[in-house]
Chains A and B, each alone.
Chain A
Amino acid sequence: MREDSSYLIKYTSSGLYCELADIWIDPIKPVKLALITHAHMDHFTYGCDEYISTYETAVIIKERIGKEINIKAYDYEKEFKINGIKISFHPSGHILGSSQIKFNLAEEIWLITGDFKRQKDETCKEYEIVKTDFLISESTFGLPIFKWEKPQKTAFDITNWVNSSQEKTSILFCYSLGKAQRVLNEISKTNFKHNIYTHSSIYRINNCYKKLGIDLIDTKKLEQTKNNSDLKGSLILIPPSLNKSNFLKTFKDIQTGFASGWMSIRALKKRSGYDKGFSISDHAEWMAILKTIKESEAKNVFFYHGDSEDLKRYLKEKNSINVLDFEYKK
Chain B
Amino acid sequence: MSLKKFSELFIDLDSCNSTNKKIRILQHYFSSNEALENSWTIYLLTGKKNKRFISGRSLKSLFSEIYEYPLWLIDSCYLKVGDSAEVISLLLRNMNTEQNMKYQDVSLNELLNKSFPELSILQEDDKKLRVKEIWENIPKENHLITNKILTGTFRVGVSIGLITKSIAKLINLDEAIISHRLMGDFIPSEESYKLLIDKKINPSELNYKPYPFLLANTFEKKIIDKPINTFQFEWKWDGIRIQLIKRSGIVSIWTRGQDLVNKAFPELVEQSSSIKDNFVIDGELLVWDFKESLPLNFSLLQKRINRKVTSRSIQKSLPIIFIAYDLLEINGEDLRDSNLEIRRNILEKHLYNWLNERKGELSNIFKISDLIYPKKWEEVETFKNNSRDNGTEGLVIKNKKSIYTPGRKKGLWWKYKVDPMQLDAVLIYAKGGSGIRAGLYTDYSFALWKDGELIKFASAYSGLNNTEIKELDRWIRKNTIDRFGPVRSVKPEMVFEISFENIQISKRHKSGIAVRFPRISKWRKDKLIKDADTLENAQKLMLNK
Contact surface of A with B, Cβ cutoff 8 Å: 143-147, 264-268, 270-271, 273, 275-276, 286-287, 309-310, 313-314, 317
Q: Does B93 sit at the interface, judged by CB under 8 A?
A: yes
Please give, as numbers and ranges, the residues of chain B lying within 8 Å of A275 by CB-CB distance.
15, 17
A268 touches B439 (CB 8 A): yes
Instruction: Report the bound CA distance from A145 to B80 in whole Å.
Output: 9
A143 touches B76 (CB 8 A): yes
Nearest opposing residue in chain A for B93, CB measure:
A147
Q: Which of B83-91, B282-290, B500-508 contacts A (4 or more CB under 8 A)?
A: B83-91
Q: How far is the CB of A288 from chain B (nearest CB, A)?
A: 11
Please give, as numbers and ranges, the residues of chain A lying within 8 Å of B76 by CB-CB distance.
143, 309-310
Q: Which of B312-320, B347-355, B412-420, B430-438 contacts A (4 or more CB under 8 A)?
A: B430-438
Partner of B436, one of A267, A276, A317: A267
Partner of A267, one of B17, B70, B94, B439: B439
Please give, as numbers and ranges, the residues of chain A lying within 8 Å of B70 by CB-CB distance.
314, 317
Contact residues of A: prevailing secondary structure: helix
Q: Which of B69-88 contact A (CB under 8 A)?
A: 70, 72-73, 76-77, 80-83, 86-87
A-B contact pairs, 29 of them (CB 8 A): A143-B76, A144-B73, A144-B90, A144-B91, A144-B94, A145-B80, A145-B81, A145-B91, A146-B90, A147-B90, A147-B94, A264-B90, A265-B86, A266-B14, A266-B83, A267-B80, A267-B83, A267-B436, A267-B438, A268-B439, A270-B436, A271-B436, A271-B437, A273-B466, A286-B94, A309-B76, A310-B73, A310-B76, A314-B70
Instruction: Report the bound CA distance from A146 to B76 in whole Å.
Output: 13
Instruction: Report the bound CA distance from A309 to B79 in whole Å.
Output: 13
Nearest opposing residue in chain B for A273, CB measure:
B466
Contact residues of B: prevailing secondary structure: helix
Instruction: Report the bound CA distance from A147 to B76 in whole Å.
Output: 16
Instruction: Report the bound CA distance from A271 to B466 in whole Å.
Output: 9
Q: How far is the CB of B25 from chain A (nearest CB, A)?
A: 12
Q: How far is the CB of A253 from chain B (nearest CB, A)?
A: 11
Please give, as numbers and ranges, the residues of chain A lying within 8 Å of B77 by CB-CB distance.
143-145
- Beyond A144-B77, A275-B17, A317-B70, 6 additional pairs, beta carbon < 8 A: A144-B90, A145-B77, A145-B91, A266-B81, A313-B73, A314-B73
Please give, as numbers and ranges, the residues of chain A lying within 8 Å of B81 by CB-CB distance.
145, 265-267
Nearest opposing residue in chain B for A314, CB measure:
B73
Q: Which of B37-86 contact A (CB under 8 A)?
A: 70, 72-73, 76-77, 80-83, 86
Q: How far is the CB of A162 from chain B (nearest CB, A)?
A: 14
Instruction: Report the bound CA distance from A286 to B436 in whole Å.
Output: 23
Please give, as numbers and ranges, the residues of chain B lying within 8 Å of A264 by CB-CB distance.
90
Instruction: Report the bound CA distance from A286 to B76 in whole Å.
Output: 13
Q: How far is the CB of A320 from chain B (nearest CB, A)?
A: 14
Please give, as numbers and ranges, the residues of chain A lying within 8 Å of B14 by CB-CB distance.
266
Please give, as numbers and ranges, the residues of chain B lying within 8 Å of A286 by CB-CB distance.
94
B94 touches A265 (CB 8 A): no
Please give, as numbers and ranges, the residues of chain A lying within 8 Å of B94 by CB-CB distance.
144, 147, 286-287
Nearest opposing residue in chain A for B16, CB measure:
A275
Identify the 10 closest CB pairs spanning chains A and B, nearest first.
Answer: A145-B90, A310-B76, A145-B77, A267-B438, A270-B436, A147-B93, A267-B82, A267-B81, A143-B77, A271-B436
Instruction: Report the bound CA distance from A266 to B89 in whole Å.
Output: 11
Nearest opposing residue in chain B for A309, CB measure:
B76
Q: From A265, A268, A309, A317, name the one whose CB has the most chain B CB atoms within 10 angstroms.
A: A265
Instruction: Report the bound CA distance from A147 to B92 in whole Å.
Output: 11
Please give, as numbers and ranges, the residues of chain A lying within 8 Å of B90 by CB-CB distance.
144-147, 264-265
Partner of B435, one of A144, A267, A273: A267
Please give, as numbers and ranges, the residues of chain A lying within 8 Å of B435 by CB-CB distance.
267
